[in-house]
Chains A and B, each alone.
Chain A
Amino acid sequence: MKLFGHRLTIPAAIGLAIVAINVIAALGAPILAPFPEAEVVGDAWAEADATYWLGLDNLGRDIFSRLLYGARMSIGLSLLITMLSFALGIVMGFTAAIAKGWVDTLLSRGVDLMLAMPTLIFAFVVLSVLGTDIPVLIVTLAILDSVKVFRLARSLAVGISALEYVEVAKLRGERLPWIITREILPNAMAPLIAEFGLRFTFAFLFVAALSFLGLGIQPPAADWGSMVRDYREVIALDVPAPFYPAGAIALMTIGVNFVVDWMLSIHASSHGRRA
């Protein structure tokens, strides 16, 4: 089987299926979910049956419905964070690579400083001070993630801008925006897209971890990390509830990783052919 002209491997097919199911769940949550996300519909920890497919949770809300709404929140949030971090990281990285000199030094050392601090602790401090509104969460995590994108974007741009076709553009008298958007960016796309997938899974896990620790998504909104936190105590009572959101997190991470691996292998082989 082929997709976009490339042979689809079995892990890639599995990964794409997982991602597709999760995206459908996230987009269609209000239609697909049998119950609203925060409505109490029965007794706490009611067992699974034909109406409540995965049973009810600590407050008597439908776990299956919350899982679907949780997908919406977890995936949507991670996607926003990743997109923002890429926009920031690519602009800063390309600027540093092309401007060189003190601009590069300033940005690179600033990034080193950020990387020297443990991300989770840093996020802790910022979120405790500024509060845990969703916009604050998105911007904080995006800035934290953008330093890693910065390093990739900068090294890609340094490599590409040393190539002769970029020199030709400079000799022609082209301006910086043209050089960045027409000469450098198209040739940096493949590794950046692969990195996007990877960074998305990290953002996703990070949001889940923050929510689990109580600093991420706040109740009553559902998200997988806070669901694990809410349900964690009943694991000793043989209630399977915590495994559903935890499994969803694991599955989504593995699925995205399979897809990223596949994209990286396409990138590597197309480079091999060119050499």
Chain B
Amino acid sequence: MSRTLGDVILDVRNLRITAGKNVLVHDVSFQLRRGEVLGLIGESGAGKSTIGLAAMGYTRAGCGITGGSMVYDGTDIRSMDEAGRRNLRGTHIAYIAQSAAASFNPAHTILDQVCEIPFRESGLSREAVRARAISLFRELDLPDPEHFGDRFPHQVSGGQLQRAMAAMAMCARPDIVVFDEPTTALDVTTQVEVLASFRKLIREHNTSAIYITHDLAVVAQIADEIMVLRHGRMVEHGPATQILQNPQQDYTRRLVADRAEGHLDRPEAEARPLLELSHVTASYSGLFKVTNDVSLTIHRGDTLAVVGESGSGKSTLARVIMGLLPREQGDIVFDGTPLSTGLRQRTPDQLRRIQMIYQSPDVALNPNQTLYEIIGRPVSFYFGRKRDTRARVLELLRLMDLPESYIDRKPGALSGGQKQRVGIARALAAEPDLIICDEVTSALDQLVGEEILRLLKRLQDELGIAYLFITHDLGTVKRIANKVAVMLKGQMVAGGETRVVFAPPLHPYTDLLLSSVPEMRADWLDEVLLRGK
């Protein structure tokens, strides 16, 4: 990807951003040349978005730029007045947000919104701006570019809307585009298309870009330079290839290394399966089948991963197993006894033996209860006075590597990763045989998610629990699951041992999913696109 880069368009020196007494960004400096793409990477709270917004002379309420300079095209953005900055934003420096759905006004057509700023600022005729927007739709590979803009935001898919947002940003022909996690909310298969469109657009227009993401593999596809941030400080800054292949700092090495673990094999399990689903079908109010004729088996100590895009029926399957959504057909047998369809007909012991861990620990824990109440309730509920609840809660906290002093805290005083540990402790308090994990790491930062996975793995080794792991992240599946079920539109298209399912000959959909997971190589996207042709 050797391209000639122009002169420096944005020169940020010793940028310092504070919120009250807290320093959010410490002395960050970088230069952006015309046509260059800078990737900002780090966990949440690293200051990525704050820097991205600051490049437009903007800070969130309560924050302020208190040091350094940001020279755009010869002028310091900090010395501009509000009118100058407003002129800068949208026309010279544009912004693409994570959620396009939240950024479009549902009451206007896409074309009107894409054309709004250039029409107001550039003095071009409405027709000229429209023509420009339509040519952008074409460049972004949007379907029927002539009429795409006549639709309303809810009439197009998430990936299309995200591309329409890129068209909106590019329509005023800005010098710099700030991409703030633009593909994080998309499915892996959609992410590939959107990434390819973005890259094509940036290159063709020779636009500079700041690309913010927490996913190193994504930024590897698009960035010339990568800056790794942590706690508002620069950890490492260099050419993309150097960061990926030869990271100098320990933190960067961990980020790069976390993706590269080997397969996991479990010893052959006993004959009687722990959970067996045969031809299970369920639907919401009988309208359309969200889970159609699914059969699978889980043995003790197994980790079965259920994978698929959003809307494929993964979470519904979990709800059917738990009895929250009564199944219409099929049988579920748990440890030799059939499970009734609904929750209420199940015995407390059946309920106890299957537990669940949720995606978002913020809503999975009652904010008004202390950890003692949250973790202790299953203990006293299922085991009554036989056990010393407090001693058991302390034991579970130790098992989760949480300080014992946290026992009287409420979830609000814990970090995201700690809350997820509490969710796991609550599930373990019931001493289950099977835990259903619904996207347990997707709301967490990469390294925190890795810790949670390692913890789950350790618990499995110590306690022999089986996991049903619902996820859209195939990288995780390859590492932790010995069995896998691939779901597409409510049906299971492939299933069995991970080694077998993920080895040729592949089901076409499995192949698509696997090839859509970004790899930590700069030329991965090119290969995928080449293969697609």
Question: Chain A interface (Cβ within 8 Å of chain B)?
Answer: 163-165, 167-168, 170-174, 182-183, 186-187, 274
- B80 contacts the other chain (Cβ, under 8 Å)? no
Most buried by B among A164, A167, A183: A164
Q: A163-B363, A164-B363, A167-B324 are in contact. List 6 more A-B contacts (CB 8 A).
A: A170-B343, A171-B343, A172-B381, A172-B382, A186-B368, A187-B368
On whether the beta carbons of A172 and B351 are closer than 8 Å, the reply is yes
**Closest beta carbon of chain B to A199's beta carbon, Å:** 23
Contact A165:B343 (CB < 8 A) given known A171-B322, A172-B430:
no
Residues of A within 8 A of B377 (CB): 172
A171 in contact with B366 given A164-B360, A274-B412 (CB within 8 Å): no
Q: Is B179 an interface residue (CB 8 A)?
A: no
Interface residues of B (CB under 8 A from A): 322, 324, 343, 346, 348, 351-352, 355-356, 358, 360, 362-369, 377-378, 381-382, 412, 426, 430
List of A residues within 8 angstroms of B366 by Cβ: 165, 182-183, 186-187
* Shortest Cβ distance from residue A240 to the other chain B in the assembled complex, whole angstroms: 49
Check if A168 sits within 8 Å of B367, measured CB to CB. Answer: no
Question: A186 CA to B290 CA in the complex, in Å?
Answer: 35
Say whether, besides A174-B381, A274-B412, A168 and B364 are in contact (CB < 8 Å): yes
Give chain A nearest CB distance to B384 CB in angstroms.
Answer: 13
Instruction: Name the CB-closest residue of B to A189.
Output: B368
CB distance from A266 to the nearest CB of B (A): 15
Neighbouring B residues of A186 by C-beta, 8 Å: 366, 368-369
Cα(A186)–Cα(B356), bound, Å: 23
Are A165 and B322 touching (Cβ within 8 A)?
A: no
* Max chain B C-beta neighbours (<10 A), residue from A165, A183, A274: A165
Closest to A167 in B: B324
**B381–A173 touching, CB < 8 Å:** yes
Q: Which residues of B have CB within 8 Å of A171? A: 322, 324, 343, 351, 355-356
B126 to chain A, nearest CB (A): 39
- The CA of A173 and the CA of B380, in the complex, are separated in Å by 13
Which residues of chain A have C-beta atoms less than 8 A from B322's C-beta?
171
Question: How far apart sit A186 and B369, CA to CA, in the bound complex (Å)?
Answer: 9
Q: B364 to A165, Cβ gap below 8 A? A: yes
| B412: A residues at CB distance < 8 A | 274
Q: Which residues of chain B are within 8 angstroms of A168 by Cβ–Cβ distance?
A: 356, 358, 364, 426
Measured CA separation A174–B343 after assembly (Å):
11
Residue of A nearest to B412 (CB): A274
CB distance from A29 to the nearest CB of B (A): 38
A174 surroundings in chain B (CB, below 8 A): 381
Which residue of chain B has the shortest Cβ distance to A186 in the bound complex? B368
The 10 A-B pairs at the shortest CB distance, nearest first, are namely: A186-B368, A164-B364, A165-B366, A173-B351, A163-B363, A164-B358, A164-B363, A173-B348, A187-B368, A165-B364
Instruction: Collect the chain A residues with CB atoms within 8 Å of residue B360's CB.
Output: 164
Interface centre among B343, B360, B363, B378, by most A CB within 10 Å?
B363
In the bound complex, what is the Cα–Cα distance between A173 and B344 (angstroms)? 8
Which chain B positions have C-beta within 8 A of A183? 366
CB distance from B368 to the nearest CB of A (A): 4
Give the chain A neighbours of B356 by CB distance below 8 A: 168, 171
In the complex, what residue of chain A is closest to B361 when comparing beta carbons? Answer: A164
